[in-house]
A and B are shown apart, each in its own frame.
Chain A
Amino acid sequence: MAAMPPAVTPPRSLTELFLGFLSMGARSFGGVLPWAHRVMVEERRWLTPADFAETVGLCQFLPGPNIGNATIVLGKRWFGVRGAVVAFLGLMALPFVWVLLLGALYADFAGNPTVRAVVTGVGAAGAGLFIGTAIKLGRALARKPAALSLIAGCFIAVALGRVTLLIVLPVALGLAVLAARKTWL
């Protein structure tokens, strides 16, 4: 047994759970997911890589903020309701404070044209990152005409037509499930 590589051990206390998610949230510049992997799989060894991937897959499938859902699923697994609440609070506590401080700071300097220009540039880059993500995810679907039609349909309805998601989502999901059952997707 002594020669075995160190196995994964779930957090032993709510404090450990809280501190783990706190350190994840506090450092997660540029997206939480890579930091979630670093903290839970590499540093604290709460999860195996396979378990991490499976949990992330589930949370991406569910509606709502992916990483928020992950705090619920993992917190529940380890400590029930208290775990879910503690993990969520741990993740959000510091980023919530950072973002409001940054927002307040920005509000003070929003009259300055250079500050406005820099912030708008960041927004434009964020828009571009969305488009980059869509291209990255869409490449796997590029050879399927049904998938391309659904992508185009969503874009026309949502981006150009500004139709509410409350209508677009049920219609598109119905069509897409039908297509998937016919193995077009």
Chain B
Amino acid sequence: MALTLLDLALTFALLSLVAFGGMPAVMPELQRVTVDVREWTSPSEFVQLFAVAQAAPGPNVLIASLIGWKAAGLAGAVVALVAFCAPAAVIAWWVAGLWERFRDSPWRLAVQRALAPLVVGLILSGGYVLGASAEGGWRIWLIACAAAVVGFATRLNPLWAIAGGALLGGLLLS
């Protein structure tokens, strides 16, 4: 138990430091570590925990708590969430002041421009990995495509896509 908690703390602390672009960009790595390396959940269970975190109000980072809870109960939920937020928080604390000072630095602009395509590639990978982990074949991709269109072509609240996914899932996947 204590070992699992330590494992959760180290895993999520490391994820925190590479999470440029936030939770969506680190999703493929989270899935790889949780499912393939640590085997805390099965691929389809990972998608379901992700879905529960999506359906609940609050920051999407709470999927960390669900994975921690799955691996080691309530203590695991707290440890995973804190470990995922703390290293990034320390960086945010120190960088907040520097950010202003380097407002016009060519390096700040270069790093900002450099991160943009990487974040796009990683979020796209996150979508692919989640879709590929779910059980349901082409039906999964049908729902995902519909939600993607709602996401990029309309100004609707993403909750409509979530509600539509629930409805289509109930009709197509059971």
Residues of A within 8 A of B (CB): 25-32, 58-69, 72-73, 76-77, 84, 88, 91-92, 94-96, 98-100, 102-103, 106, 110, 113-114, 116-138, 140-141, 144, 146-148, 150-155, 158-159, 162, 164-166, 169, 172-173, 176-177, 179-181, 185
Contacts and interface: CB of A to CB of B under 8 A. Distances in A.
Interface of B: 14, 16-24, 26-29, 32, 36, 44, 47-62, 65-66, 69, 74, 77, 81, 84-85, 87-89, 91-93, 95-96, 99, 106, 109-131, 134-136, 139-141, 143-153, 157-159, 161-162, 164-170, 172-174
A41 to B, nearest CB: 18
A109 to B, nearest CB: 11
B118 A68 contact: no
Contact of A100 (B77, B116, B118, B141): B77
Nearest to B44: A120
Contacts of B141: 124
B71 to A, nearest CB: 13
B170 to A, nearest CB: 5
Given A92-B59, A127-B134, A128-B144, A165 B29 contact: yes
14 contacts: A25-B58, A62-B91, A68-B61, A120-B44, A121-B167, A122-B51, A123-B134, A127-B144, A129-B148, A132-B147, A132-B152, A144-B117, A147-B117, A151-B117
B96 A119 contact: no
A64 B89 contact: yes
B169 A121 contact: yes
A125 B36 CA distance: 23
B28 A76 contact: no
B143 A121 contact: yes
Contact of B49 (A32, A103, A128, A131): A103
B162 to A, nearest CB: 5
A148 B164 CA distance: 31
B120 A134 contact: yes
A96 B117 contact: no
Contacts of B69: 100, 103
Nearest to B174: A117
B74 to A, nearest CB: 8
A173 B81 contact: no
B147 A124 contact: yes
A128 B65 contact: no
Contacts of A61: 20, 99, 111-112, 115
Contacts of B126: 127, 130
The 10 closest A-B pairs by CB, nearest first: A121-B169, A64-B88, A95-B58, A132-B151, A125-B165, A154-B121, A128-B147, A130-B127, A128-B144, A176-B114
